[in-house]
Amino acid sequence: MAAPPDILQLSKSQVHLFEKFCCIYEALNGQKIESQIQTVQLTTNCFKSNFTPMVRWNQIFYLMYKSNMTYNEDKCMSMCREEANTISYFYHVAYILMFILTVSSNLLVIFAILKTTKLRSTIANLFILSLAFSDLFVGLFIIPIKIKKSLNNMHFCLNDEWCRFYITTDNVFFSISITNLLVIAIDRYIALHYTYAYPRILTRTRAKIVIAALWFYGIIWGFLANIPWDDSGNDAITINRGSCVLENSYYIYSVFVLVFSIPVIVMGVIYIRIFLIARHHANDIVNSTSLSHNNNSKQNGDTHHGDISLIKEKKPKRRSILKGIRSSFTSGFTRRHDSAQYYKMIFKASKTVATVYGTFVVSWAPVCIISATLHACVECFGAEPTESGHKWYTVVFVNFLPILASMANPFIYAILSKQYRRAFKKILLGVYPKSFRWMREQSNSSSKASKKSYAESVLL
């Protein structure tokens, strides 16, 4: 009899059979069931939904009774039934905190935009709303599966259907998020570079069409992950050595280049251009203000050096002249001030989104590079999972960092945007009115008391 194989020493095709054997073994609870119909029904989750009962039975019969390989049931059971170790409990707590923060913070952004007229009326915030929904869905659909993995020492112990759902949704929301950021960068550039034409270039209707198109684009990329791009006949998404993996190398290279690398480079160039334009406009405004101030000073100086007796005799005329000079200076300054305020506002919004872009790149660059490199060179990272668990960088860069982008965005808005801070406060005051009302009443009562004591001291 052949020795029981170690899962880490099997070939890829053997591992796939072993994973299926484990699923069947657990579904049947290690017992041989005489009824063919009952056996097929109990093992439904171990096969693709389009497999007929006859195909399922043939595979079960081959794996359980006819295969010349003797699988080790103990090894099969240990991967998903062993007790979680200490580090896995740490991962579990971390994922739960990430879930709470990601869902609650992105819901806060969504409500802030929908409930605040000023935020809702800005086209750029429609794209931020789309990004917030994408991040929210990451929290609702991706993180719960990671929480389940953390209870099994980071092994994927769900069936093939859940594996396909996990990979598909992950790619959908990744594609939508980065495309959203690209569209926001383009929007900021148009607003700054084509200031007067911007309202005609990007209307609300066009913005909604763009958002619908980028979501459709992301969904297409997600479903393309399920299609094998080669002639091997193997599934594109499989459970391999306790991990839910995407085996489609051509798809991974395409995503790395088309969905990640090109948008990141384009966004980088756009934000460099935005900062250069903003600095150029700031210098122009400062120079024009300084020049206008010098001209007005010169005019005032000429008036001062005129005939003093004439000025004294005609005070009303002097006053009217000064009033005219002051009004022309003020109107010119107001126009420059309004222009400065506009560019300052656009620049601040661009700075906020640039920070979001930087966070996204830091969060997703490692996992994209690792995925592309591993499919080109399997031994480069020594990334095969060991019996004690996964490599540390797999957990940090593949599991934790990508969630950081979805979780951090609302906090970036709160720190860098005064409008979002105001909107968040209003929503929180509405959700928790009693506690915040008590704080306001305490503040108001202390303020009234101080005013009363001040009034009494004045009267005395």
Q: With respect to residue 224, please indicate whether it lies within any of the assigned structural domains.
A: yes
Given this model, what pLDDT does residue 359 score? 82
Among the listed residues 373, 367, 417, the one whose alpha carbon sits nearest the alpha carbon of residue 393: 367
Answer yes or no: are the C-beta atoms of 127 and 180 closer than 8 Å: yes
Q: With respect to residue 324, please indicate whether it lies within any of the assigned structural domains.
A: no
3-state SS track over 348-362: HHHHHHHHHHHHHHH
**Residue 181 vs residue 42, higher pLDDT:** 181
**Structure tokens that stand for 152 in this block:** 């099994």
- What sign results for the dihedral spanned by CA atoms 249, 255, 261, 264? negative
Q: With respect to residue 379, please indicate whether it lies within any of the assigned structural domains.
A: yes
Task: Specify the range with the lowest mean pLDDT, choosing from 81-85, 169-173, 206-210, 450-454.
Answer: 450-454
- 3-class DSSP state of 384: coil
**Residue 101 vs residue 347, higher pLDDT:** 101
The CATH number covering residue 230 comes to 1.20.1070.10
Given this model, what pLDDT does residue 4 score? 39
Q: Same structural domain for residues 67 and 115?
A: no
Q: Same structural domain for residues 258 and 195?
A: yes
Task: Specify the range with the lowest mean pLDDT, choosing from 42-46, 78-82, 334-338, 389-393.
Answer: 334-338
Q: Same structural domain for residues 138 and 245?
A: yes
Q: Same structural domain for residues 251 and 165?
A: yes
Q: With respect to residue 446, please indicate whether it lies within any of the assigned structural domains.
A: no
Q: What angle do CA 171, 175, 177 make, to 5 degrees?
A: 115
Kindly give, in sequence order, each residue whose CB lies less than 8 Å from that of residue 347, ignoring residues fewer than 6 positions away: 192, 274, 275, 278
Range(s) of the domain holding residue 42: 22-71
Task: Specify the range with the lowest mean pLDDT, choosing from 34-43, 282-291, 323-332, 393-402.
Answer: 323-332
Among the listed residues 148, 149, 165, 175, the one whose alpha carbon sits nearest the alpha carbon of residue 237: 165
- 3-class DSSP state of 143: helix
On the question of pLDDT at 337 being above 60, the answer is no
> If pLDDT is split at 50, 70 and 90, which confidence band does 454 have?
very low
On the question of pLDDT at 318 being above 50, the answer is no
Cα-to-chain-centroid distance, residue 29: 41
Best-predicted range by mean pLDDT (236-240, 291-295, 403-407): 403-407
- How do residues 249-265 score in pLDDT, each as one tens digit? 889 889 989 998 999 89
Given this model, what pLDDT does residue 410 score? 84
**Residue 36 vs residue 213, higher pLDDT:** 213
Which amino acid is residue 85, in one-letter code?
N
Q: Same structural domain for residues 125 and 35?
A: no
CA–CA distance, 276 with 271 (Å, rounded to integer): 9
> If pLDDT is split at 50, 70 and 90, which confidence band does 304 have?
very low
CA–CA distance, 102 with 379 (Å, rounded to integer): 35
Cα-to-chain-centroid distance, residue 305: 65
pLDDT average, residue stretch 280-304: 57
Q: With respect to residue 374, please indicate whether it lies within any of the assigned structural domains.
A: yes
Q: What share of the chain in percent tops pLDDT 70?
A: 58
Q: Same structural domain for residues 159 and 215?
A: yes
Q: Same structural domain for residues 54 and 102?
A: no
CA–CA distance, 41 with 2 (Å, rounded to integer): 30
Q: In the chain, how long is the greatest CA-to-CA distance?
A: 124
Kindly give, in sequence order, each residue whose CB lies less than 8 Å from that of residue 228, ignoring residues fewer than 6 positions away: 234, 235, 236, 248
Cα-to-chain-centroid distance, residue 186: 18
Given this model, what pLDDT does residue 109 score? 93
Domain count, the chain: 2
- How do residues 235-250 score in pLDDT, each as one tens digit? 788 877 677 888 888 8
On the question of pLDDT at 434 being above 60, the answer is no
Place of tokens 């054997």: 21
On the question of pLDDT at 134 being above 90, the answer is yes
User: How many residues does this entry show for the chain?
Assistant: 460
Given this model, what pLDDT does residue 112 score? 92
Q: Same structural domain for residues 102 and 61?
A: no
Among the listed residues 149, 204, 147, 141, the one whose alpha carbon sits nearest the alpha carbon of residue 167: 141
**Residue 337 vs residue 2, higher pLDDT:** 337
CA–CA distance, 264 with 358 (Å, rounded to integer): 9
- Please provide residue 80's backbone torsions phi and psi, each rounded to the nearest 5 degrees: -110, -5
Q: With respect to residue 311, please indicate whether it lies within any of the assigned structural domains.
A: no
Q: Same structural domain for residues 374 and 422?
A: yes
Given this model, what pLDDT does residue 214 score? 95
Which amino acid is residue 238, in one-letter code?
T
Q: Same structural domain for residues 101 and 63?
A: no
Averaged pLDDT of the chain: 73
> If pLDDT is split at 50, 70 and 90, which confidence band does 322 have?
very low
**How many CA atoms does the CB half-sphere of 437 hold within 13 Å?**
5
Task: Specify the range with the lowest mean pLDDT, choosing from 13-17, 137-141, 225-229, 287-291.
Answer: 13-17
**Structure tokens that stand for 374 in this block:** 């591993």
Q: With respect to residue 203, please indicate whether it lies within any of the assigned structural domains.
A: yes
Q: Same structural domain for residues 220 and 256?
A: yes
On the question of pLDDT at 132 being above 60, the answer is yes
- What sign results for the dihedral spanned by CA atoms 285, 287, 290, 294? negative
pLDDT average, residue stretch 433-450: 54
Answer yes or no: are the C-beta atoms of 45 and 24 closer than 8 Å: no
Given this model, what pLDDT does residue 278 score? 73
Q: With respect to residue 378, please indicate whether it lies within any of the assigned structural domains.
A: yes
Q: Same structural domain for residues 263 and 377?
A: yes
**Residue 56 vs residue 186, higher pLDDT:** 186
